[in-house]
Every structure is written in C-alpha cells, then in structure tokens.
C-alpha cells in the first residue's frame, strides 16, 4: 500500500454523542453516553461482549433502534437521518461482500449509488484496489478470495467513497493471528494517509492500544473512561478499567487520614503509607492498584532499597512466562502478582520462600469505585 493518495480527506470531521441512549424494547443497552471524537482521530470502542460497543458504532451508521439524544457528525445532526443519507462507510465484521458481484462491482457500488460517471468510477476503483494490493483480483468473486483478501475488499469498498467517517466493526476478528498483526499496521498507516475520522470496535486491548489515538472503554452500555492508551493504563478511573487493561493487583481497604499522613489499611493487616499526592479524593473505602511489573521482589535477608513501601509475604506459586517470571505472593489473605524479567543464571525464588515486596509510593494508584 505505498501509493500516493488522491483520496485523502482534506477536512476531517468530528463526531459528537450528546446524551445518547439506545434501548431494545425495555432493555437499555446504551445509557446516556456523551462523547466527543476529534476530527481525524483513530478512535476505539473497547469493551467485553455485551458492553454496547457495536451498538454504539452502528448508531453512527444509522442502524438499530432510534436513539434518544443526539448524534452529530461534523456540525450536522444526523440522529434522524436514514443510513443511506449519512456519509459514513462501515466495514462489517462478516465483511458482507455481495456474492453475486465481482470484486470490482462490490467496490464500485457506493460510487454508483452516488451517481458518479462511469469513467470516474473505474479510475477510483482502480486506485483503491491498488491501495489494498488487490489490483489483479478485480474480476474474482468473493468466494474465490481468502479471508484476508475479502477483508481488504470490504475496506476498499468503504474508502473508495471517501466518507467523512470510517467505521470498523471488529474487522480483524476473523483473521488468523499473524495476518491480524499485519493488518493492524496497515490499517493504521492507511488511516494516517487518508486522514479520515475512524471509529474502531474491538474487544482486544492490545489491538486498541496499538492502533488508536484514543480509546473509550465501555461496560454495560456506559462509558467507563476515555483517554489515550497510556493514560488509561496508568491512570484507570475505576476497578473495571484497571482490570480490563493489563493485569492488576487490586487491594481493597480503607483510606485514613490522620495528622498529615495518609495510610491505607486492608482488612488483613496490610498498611501502606501514601504520600498526599496519591490521594484521589476523600477518605473511605478504596482499592489500591499495583501493576505486577512495578513491584520488586527480594528475599528477606537481602538489603532493602530506599524509599519504598514494603510488604512481607510468602511465595505461593511461580510461573515461567518466557520473557518474565510471574510470582503469586501471599500477603495475609491477599494474593499479589509480581512480574520480574527473566535472566538466565539469576536465582529465582522458590515456593514457600519468605520474600519482601517493594514498590515506589508514587506507583500506587488509588481507585475511587
């Protein structure tokens, strides 16, 4: 896909959800979502099955029950517009290629519906097929293509119409692992060149992290948090987001402030003194998030590093994961996961070894709910 693009959108548009709710009969599947997607962004809806991410995406295209609230594309309120009048193009999870048409006819469809002259249709289809590397496949039928090739045709079909918004509904989920990784990079590059606002639905956080500028995490029809991948990982707003992105150690307990000190106490005796800066709100019931890779694990008889919070425990389990080793350490009634990088020759801890966990205070994150 190294062609020079005439298809780049000069002025990409943003998308706004304004207090959007969608219900199937009595069941609310999207609950009061307000969100702003910036022009030209590669934006992801990330969440588990049933979170409403596909519903939200389809709502942009105009499919599904009529929502309450508003959807704006650019400055236009499209909430009441039928699908064929919105300038958004969607790649379906099953690709939805029409089996009775050749690849060319599939790709040309949108242009024909827009009434473009035949010569222009032909040249644009040629351009786009070259872009996705399928120039010689124009006369084939979808059934004669591999999964990866079908996906490219579905993509070509959408970008050829130069939509103001590109929607991708889990487009990579039917591909095998190697192809998926390759397609992620290609999609990312394509989006950058085309400069088109793109919304991408996935349940795979690695995919979202890798490809997207910003992510909205959804659960049960509610947006849990919006931000760029690193922010979401480092500063999750709640337990769900903390658990969904990466592995999380969550220790439940209470946050107390006495004198000028803040201490976090868990029911089974873990006490963590916290700098005031670590406070995320008032005192009370909280959870502390510690990422496994932020913890250093040492034997009891080793010297302690300076300025770290210290927790004593016993090794319960050890898992070799190739690049690193994961320890399950029991502290009181809590199990804490610790990841250390694996270097051959370095002595590992054994099961039932008494150990000490050290973590920097500023790597403790306090979660509100």
Interacting residues with another protein (CB under 8 A): 61-63, 82-84, 88-90, 92-94, 96, 98-100, 109-110, 113-114, 143, 157-158, 161
Q: How far is the CB of 84 from another protein (least distance, A)?
A: 5
- How many CB atoms lie under 10 A from the CB of residue 344? 4
Angle subtended at Cα 303 by Cα 297 and Cα 308, rounded to the nearest 5 degrees: 60
Instruction: For Cα atoms 291, 292, 293, give the angle at the middle one, nearest 5 degrees.
Output: 90
Angle, helices 147-159/118-131, rounded to nearest 10 degrees: 130
Cα separation, 272 vs 255, whole angstroms: 9
CB of 192 to another protein, least distance (A): 23
Closer residue to another protein in complex, CB, 92/358: 92
Least Cβ distance, residue 83 to another protein (angstroms): 4
Minimum distance of another protein from residue 208's CB (angstroms): 21
Residue 340 CA to residue 325 CA, distance in Å, equals: 5
Least distance to another protein from the beta carbon of 95, Å?
8
Report whether 314 contacts 353 (CB < 8 A): yes
Residue among 196 and 315 whose Cβ is closer to another protein: 196
From CA 227, how far away is CA 254, in angstroms rounded?
28
d(CA 298, CA 49): 40
Nearer to another protein, 101 or 181 (CB): 101
Shortest Å distance, C-beta 308 to another protein: 50
Nearer to another protein, 65 or 275 (CB): 65
């Amino acid at each position: 896909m190294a062609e020079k693009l005439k298809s780049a959108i000069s002025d990409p548009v943003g998308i706004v959800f304004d207090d959007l709710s969608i219900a199937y009969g009595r069941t609310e599947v999207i609950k009061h979502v307000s969100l702003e997607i910036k022009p030209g962004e590669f934006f992801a809806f990330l969440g588990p099955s049933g979170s409403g991410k596909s519903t939200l995406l389809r709502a942009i295209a105009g499919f599904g029950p009529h929502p309450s609230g508003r959807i704006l594309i650019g400055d236009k309120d499209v909430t009441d517009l039928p699908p064929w009048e919105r300038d958004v193009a969607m790649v379906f999870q099953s690709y939805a290629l029409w089996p009775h048409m050749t690849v060319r006819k599939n790709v040309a469809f949108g242009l024909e519906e827009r009434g473009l002259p035949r010569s222009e249709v032909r040249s644009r289809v040629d351009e786009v097929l070259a872009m996705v590397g399928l120039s010689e496949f124009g006369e084939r039928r979808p059934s004669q293509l591999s999964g990866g090739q079908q996906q490219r045709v579905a993509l070509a079909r959408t970008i050829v119409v130069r939509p103001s918004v590109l929607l991708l509904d889990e487009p990579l989920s039917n591909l095998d692992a190697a192809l998926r990784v390759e397609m992620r990079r290609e999609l990312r590059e394509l989006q950058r060149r085309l400069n088109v606002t793109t919304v991408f639905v996935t349940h795979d956080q690695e995919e979202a992290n890798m490809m997207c500028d910003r992510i909205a995490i959804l659960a049960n029809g509610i947006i849990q948090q919006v931000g760029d991948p690193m922010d979401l990982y480092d500063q999750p707003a709640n337990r769900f987001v903390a658990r969904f992105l990466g592995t999380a150690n969550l220790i439940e307990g209470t946050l107390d402030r006495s004198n000028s000190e803040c201490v976090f106490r868990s029911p089974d005796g873990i006490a963590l003194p916290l700098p005031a800066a670590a406070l995320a709100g008032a005192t009370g019931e909280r959870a502390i998030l510690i990422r496994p890779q932020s913890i250093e694990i040492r034997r009891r008889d080793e010297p302690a590093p300076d300025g770290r919070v210290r927790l004593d425990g016993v090794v319960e389990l050890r898992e070799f994961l190739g690049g690193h080793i994961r320890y399950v350490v029991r502290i009181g009634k809590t199990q804490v996961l610790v990841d250390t990088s694996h270097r051959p020759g370095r002595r590992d801890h054994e099961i039932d070894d008494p150990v000490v966990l050290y973590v920097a205070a500023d790597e403790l994150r306090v979660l509100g709910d």
